[in-house]
Amino acid sequence: MQHLRTTVARLRPITATQTVKSQSQARPMAVGGALRTFEPMRSYTTSVSAEPFMNGTSSNYVEEMYYAWLENPRSVHKSWDIIFRNANAGVSPGAAYQSPPPLGGAALGLANAQAMVGAQPNMEKLVEDHLAVQSLVRAYQVRGHHIAKLDPLDIGVIDFDESPVMLGLKKVGFYGLDESDLDKVFRLPTTTFIGGSESVLPLKEIISRLEMAYCQSIGVEFMFINDLEQCQWIRQKFERPGVMQFTLEEKRTLLTRMVRSTKFEEFLQRKWSSEKRFGLEGCESLIPALKTIIDKSSMNGVESIIMGMPHRGRLNVLANVIHKELDQIFCQFDSKLEAADEGSGDVKYHLGMWHRRINRVTDRNITLSLMANPSHLEAVDPVVQGKTKAEQFYCGDTEGKRVMSILLHGDAAFAGQGVVYETFHLSDLPSYTTHGTVHVVVNNQVGFTTDPRVARSSSYPTDVAKVVNAPIFHVNADDPEAVMYVCNVAAEWRATFHKDVVVDLVCYRRNGHNEMDEPLFTQPLMYKQIKKQKGVLQKYSEKLLAEGAVSRQDYEEEIAKYDKICEEAHARSKDEKILHIKHWLDSPWPGQCVKGIYMYMLKSIILSTGYIASSVPVEDFTLHRGLSRILKGRTAMRVCDWALGEYMAFGSLLKEGTHIRLSGQDVERGTFSHRHHVLHDQKIDRRICIPMNHISPNQAPYTVCNSSLSEYGVLGFELGFAMASPNALVLWEAQFGDFNNTAQCIIDQFICPGQAKWVRQNGIVLLLPHGMEGMGPEHSSARPERFLQMCNEDPDTYPEFAVRQLYDCNWIIVNCSTPANYFHILRRQILQAFRKPLIVITPKSLLRHPEAKSSFDDMLPGTHFQRLIPDSGPVCENPEAVKRIVFCTGKVYYELTRERNNRGNDDIVAIARIEQLSPFPFDQVKVETDRYPNADLVWCQEEHKNQGYYDYVKPRLRTTVDRTRPVWYAGRGPAAAPATGNKAAHLVELQRFLDTAFNLDAFTEQS
Ligand SMILES: Cc1ncc(C[n+]2csc(CCOP(=O)(O)OP(=O)(O)O)c2C)c(N)n1
Ligand SMILES: [Mg+2]
């Protein structure tokens, strides 16, 4: 931002080549077909008079005439007719021009001039002047926002580049015009709507109208959009004369909304002056802004709006937009109230809320939900999108006409947080689009204590939105009517184009970051100005009083009425004895979770799914030969491998009516080329087949989608999707498990503590490929230790009931060693009566390991998920003789059994697999430790000692045996990196810890 790079590119018009391309798709080529006179773009800063003819900034105008001429040569001025004829005959652009006669200036003159074409030398000047006007119009459209009066403080923190803005009456010389031209009349290009019903206007009037459209309280940034229809749509919304007129009723409603917004903050300030509330003072027009967007969207048929927002003004939005009962808000300020629900709760400015009500303006039902969010700014963005997508999906709203999202942002966070960018990039992807989000930025020109000039490198905080061609409407938040206008346009834009749009409310923050902060420490000049600033309600009420739109009495009555509402609610809030977190639920689930299964059907489901998994259920589909072989191999399988186990789990759930959504990078094929859930026709581009959607006619749909290369954004999205309904299995797979750390915020802030903070369950599944396979430090570890460390279970207490354990835990962590157990854990996720996040540490080499197979019998009725798989080999014959029991989890089991075979001591060393790490299967571990009373207890893992499971498992094993037996460790030593980069070192380490695991003297020597 310090040195703003307003590059030539930003100022470029839609290029001739672009326009030709888009138009040539719509129009048939005519008259020779060759379009060769249009040159590439050029800088706007070159004076118009110096431009070669028919290129650069004039090209749009010329193009339009050219197309008109192609259709009807008489529709353009004779002079242009000659040029186009010559150009099409192959004459060079410069020579194609022949001077037409002068026009004198008036519209009438134009007609007269038609007769004299081809003869008059002044025609050159005339054409140049018209092109100059075209350039001028375009300059306002591109750069008008640079000089719009956006900042209520007028301190201009936005630092554009050093090049002056060539707009205004005094700058016409820049375009090759002079002041004497101001009274001359010019024909308006078709790329402007300032004329209304007039097609010609005097230059002075043209400039005045452009200033009205682009340089008042609204600054419109849209000329980077490369879609002509969309640009024209925006132009007419802001340029048409008289667009900014409001009825008396609209003005009064606006005033009432301003009163509520302002007086709410004043009320809180009066009652709880020393409480943090992140007040909205300085941006009170946010409330009418949101209400306008909601009204307009409701008018356009939207029935449900999902919103995400940060701290600033949140209580006000809850009160005046979502219509949360005021007494419930006020009682949050009472520190003495006791919490009534399970969970630890959250502070008042993070809580969410859900409400269905009648929209008073449209008289239609509307559901509004504000998602609970953590302190982490912008983290809620993808979650809101996911929830919105899910609601659209469940109500069959394929175009986003009934459900939409609104995201609010702070200026610093919007510019600074990468997840904003990640979320924008989801906006147009088929499986992630929510068909347009309205973004509203509370741009108070400061982030906590930090000045934007050191907080971002872009001129506006909203520049990130340009990446998806979203129009950006900057508006001075001290002009509530302008705010209302842009919000109307934003909602209409979304309803028309189903694309994102940004409203940038340029405002200020009257107090410090929170009500306790002293802003003068860090923003002395800004706050001197703010202290002088009249409140927006005062300004607007004075305006309406002066206009006679409201009487003083009405205005004062409105204020008194709202004060009374607040006082009464406050009185009621004192009667509250208990704080119900449940009252702040943002995503209530309809009905019960799906429970139980038709066991007798399981077999047939498995059989039909197995068939589907190995076939292509559509006609004439050319499958890759290699893939054909793989699918054929599946049919012949006598045992089930990992991919088929997953297929069976999905297929059976789909057949039972559970929607499944699997999302992540390359999940369709599978990173390890094992899954193949989407088949591609080798002959027809983009023809695909998803066999799992062909299981049975009344099955639930299966969505499997490769995602953008984002973890934070996509995991947040899937979490939001899973929030919408308990009756869907929503899975996110990391390409490799270690990539989950770029989504850490979603894991730490939402998945791990979500239920405790916000009393809402979530059954999201994370699939995290993991395993030490000599592939180097990256791609080896999904970091199970981090997930385990965040479990809420007490390692020192032996729990009573396994089911209660599940119910109480904050998430479930498993590392399955067999396809059948993986099959069962996926199914259990839906079949259990409540929802918990499930973290699955998934294998890589086990996907193809000859021993990591399951019998189909292990999936039939009567079988279930095994939290622990005991040793069923020779050790069972004489357990008393067993000298050691090695507990382990995951892939290392196969390395241990191989080593045990090699050593031939499978009757004295038992190996037990802990498949569900959390909640820890204390009861089943106890069965094993009791079974082998003379065995020493070893925990073996392939991960380094300070990683993996050891620190988690050790105290639990000790609790299980009541600390009567020591627990030994066999595994890699502590290390900083998850794995060595050296293959030989990897193998040495492996052999070393296997030696320890089977050396029966290893620990006697230590003790
Ligand atoms: C990801 C993240 N980093 C840091 C913070 C700490 N923090 C809280 S508010 C704030 C400033 C936010 O500024 P802005 O986005 O402009 O919102 P404003 O408070 O001005 O409305 C910061 C840095 C946070 N909440 N989240
Ligand atoms: Mg800010």
Model confidence at 20: pLDDT above 60: no
Mean pLDDT of 123-134: 85
- Centre of ligand 2 to C-alpha 413, Å, is 8
Q: How far apart are CA 396 and CA 386, in angstroms?
A: 15
Burial letters 289-321, b for 16+ CB under 10 A, else e? bbbbbbbbbbbbebbbbbbbbbbbbbbbbbbbb
Express each pLDDT in 559-600 by its tens digit. Answer: 999 999 999 999 988 877 666 666 666 666 665 555 444 555
Is any atom of ligand 1 closer than 6 Å to the C-beta of 448?
Answer: yes
Beta-strand relationship, 403-410 and 364-370:
unpaired
> Of the candidates 38, 19, 32, 41, which has an alpha carbon nearest to the alpha carbon of residue 190?
19
The pairing of strands 765-769 and 437-443 is unpaired
Rg (CA), the chain: 34
Closest by CA to 140, choosing from 108, 167, 180, is 167
Q: Which of 494, 514, 493, 490 is nearest to 504 (CA)?
A: 490
> Which of 347, 441, 448, 462 for a ligand 1 pocket mutation test, highest count of atoms within 8 Å of Cβ?
448
312: amino acid identity, one letter:
R
Atom 26 in ligand 1: residue holding the nearest Cα: 376
pLDDT tens digits for 724-750? 999 999 999 999 999 999 999 999 999
Q: Which of 265, 355, 279, 262 is nearest to 313 (CA)?
A: 279
Contact present, 821 and 915 (Cβ < 8 Å): yes
Please name the residue whose Cα sits nearest to atom 17 of ligand 1: 410
Question: 187 falls in which pLDDT band (50, 70, 90)?
Answer: very high
The pLDDT assigned to 898 comes to: 97
Mean per-residue pLDDT, 704-726: 97
Using DSSP bridges, classify how beta strands 916-918 and 812-814 pair: parallel, antiparallel or unpaired. Answer: antiparallel
Q: Give the C-alpha separation, 141 to 827, whole Å.
A: 57
Percent of the chain with pLDDT over 70: 85
CA of 452 to the centre of ligand 2 (A): 9
Which of 281, 309, 349, 377 has most ligand 1 atoms within 8 Å of CB, for mutation?
377
CA 696–ligand 2 middle distance (angstroms) = 53
Residue 469 near residue 223, CB atoms below 8 Å: no
Most confident of the following: 275-279, 350-354, 517-521, 898-902? 898-902
Ligand 1 contacts CB of residue 446 (under 6 A): yes
pLDDT of residue 611: 75
Please report, for the chain, how many H helices and E strands are present, in that order: 34, 28
* Cα separation, 737 vs 730, whole angstroms: 17
Burial class (CB in 10 A: 0-12, 13-18, 19+), 549: buried
Q: What is the model's pLDDT at position 357? A: 86
Residues 6+ apart with CB under 8 A from 739: 711
The answer to whether the CB of 589 is under 6 A from ligand 1 is no
In this predicted structure, the answer to whether residue 372 has a pLDDT above a threshold of 80 is yes
Report the mean per-residue pLDDT for the chain: 87
Query: What is the reported pLDDT for 56?
Result: 38
Q: Which residue has the higher pLDDT, 339 or 78?
A: 78
The predicted pLDDT at position 649 comes to: 94
Which atom of ligand 1 is nearest to 409's Cα? 15
CA 379 – CA 409 distance, rounded (Å): 11
Separation of alpha carbons 369 and 738, rounded Å:
34
Lowest mean pLDDT among 167-181, 407-421, 424-438: 167-181
Whether 411 lines ligand 1, by a CB cut-off of 6 Å, is yes
- Average pLDDT of 165-184? 90
Among 237, 177, 163, residue whose Cα is nearest residue 206: 177
Nearest CA to ligand 1 atom 1: 376
Whether 484 and 503 have beta carbons less than 8 Å apart is answered as: no
The mean pLDDT of 522-535, rounded to a whole number, is: 94
Residues 129, 554: Cα–Cα separation, whole Å: 53
Mean local confidence (pLDDT), 22-29: 34
Whether the pLDDT of residue 276 is over 90: the answer is: no
Reported confidence tier of residue 102, pLDDT bands at 50, 70, 90: very low
By CB atoms closer than 10 A (0-12, 13-18, 19+), residue 322 is buried
Does residue 281's CB lie within 6 angstroms of at least one atom of ligand 1? Answer: no
Instruction: Please tell me the number of the ligand nearest to residue 506's CA.
Output: 2
pLDDT for 60 equals 57
Distance of CA 1005 to the CA centre of its chain: 57
CA–CA distance, 69 with 63 (Å, rounded to integer): 9
37 pLDDT more than 50 = no
How many angstroms separate the first and last alpha carbons of the chain?
65
The answer, yes or no, to whether any atom of ligand 1 lies below 6 A from the CB of 410, is yes
Sequence-separated (6 or more) residues with CB below 8 Å from residue 242: 196
pLDDT higher than threshold 60 for residue 106: no
**Ligand 2 ion: nearby residues, β-carbon < 5 Å:** 410-412, 444, 447
Task: Count CB-CB contacts under 10 A for residue 710.
Answer: 21
Per-residue pLDDT band for 242 (boundaries 50, 70, 90) equals very high
Alpha carbon distances (Å) from 827 to 509, 802, 823:
51, 18, 6
Ligand 1 contacts CB of residue 523 (under 6 A)? no
Cα dihedral sign, 520-522-528-532: negative
Span of 62-66, 280-284, 792-796, 981-985 with lowest mean pLDDT: 62-66
More confident residue, 80 or 380: 380
- The pLDDT of 926-945, averaged and rounded, is 97
- Residue 390 carries which side chain, given as an amino acid letter? A
Residue 440 pairs with which residues in a beta bridge? 408, 503
Which atom of ligand 1 is nearest the CA belonging to 509? 20
The CA 745 to ligand 1 mean position distance, Å, reads 15
3-state SS string for 884-949: EEEEECCCHHHHHHHHHHHHCCCCCEEEEEECEEECCCHHHHHHHHHHCCCCEEEEEEEEECCCCC
Is the pLDDT confidence value at 24 over 90?
no
Q: Is residue 385 a contact partner of residue 423, using CB atoms and an 8 Å limit?
A: yes
Q: Is 447's C-beta closer than 6 angstroms to any atom of ligand 1?
A: yes
Rounded to an integer, what is the distance from CA 380 to the centroid of its chain? 8
Q: Mean per-residue pLDDT for 272-286?
A: 91
Asked if the model's pLDDT at residue 504 lies above 80, the reply is yes
Average pLDDT over residues 522-544: 96
Instruction: Tell me how far the alpha carbon of residue 412 lies from the centroid of ligand 2, in angstroms.
Output: 5
Task: List Cβ neighbours of 89 (8 Å cut-off, separation of 6 or more).
Answer: none
**Per-residue pLDDT at 81 exceeds 70:** yes
| Residue with the larger pLDDT of the pair 83 and 40 | 83
Q: What Å distances lie between residue 745 and 371, 710, 750, 816, 878, CA to CA?
A: 16, 13, 8, 26, 50
Cα→Cα distances 396→200, 392, 402, Å: 48, 6, 9
The pLDDT of residue 401 is above 80: yes
Distance CA 560, CA 136 (A): 50
Distance CA 346, CA 315 (A): 14
At 305-364, the pLDDT tens digits run 999 999 999 999 999 999 988 988 888 777 666 655 566 677 666 777 888 889 888 999
* Residue 147 exposed, middle or buried by CB count within 10 Å (0-12, 13-18, 19+): middle
| Position 119 pLDDT exceeds 70 | no
Helices (H), 724-765: 744-745, 754-758
Local confidence band at 253 (pLDDT 50, 70, 90 cut-offs): very high
Residue 977 CA to ligand 2 center (angstroms) comes to 39
The Cα–Cα gap between 577 and 579 comes to: 7
Query: Where does residue 988 fall: left (phi above 0), alpha (psi -120 to 50 degrees), or beta otherwise?
Result: alpha
The number of residues in the chain equals 1007
pLDDT at 118 over 50: no
Cβ 296 vs Cβ 488: under 8 Å: yes
Which ligand is closest in space to the CA of residue 748?
Answer: 1
What proportion of the chain, given as a percentage, has pLDDT over 90? 70
Any ligand 1 atom below 6 A from CB of 442: yes
Q: What is the pLDDT of residue 576?
A: 72
Ligand nearest to the CA of 445: 2
Nearest atom of ligand 1 to the alpha carbon of 447: 13
Q: How far is the CA of 951 from the centre of ligand 2 (A)?
A: 43
Among all bound ligands, the one having the nearest atom to the CA of 413 is 1
Highest mean pLDDT among 121-130, 340-349, 754-763, 926-935: 926-935
Ligand 1 near 413 CB (within 6 A)? yes
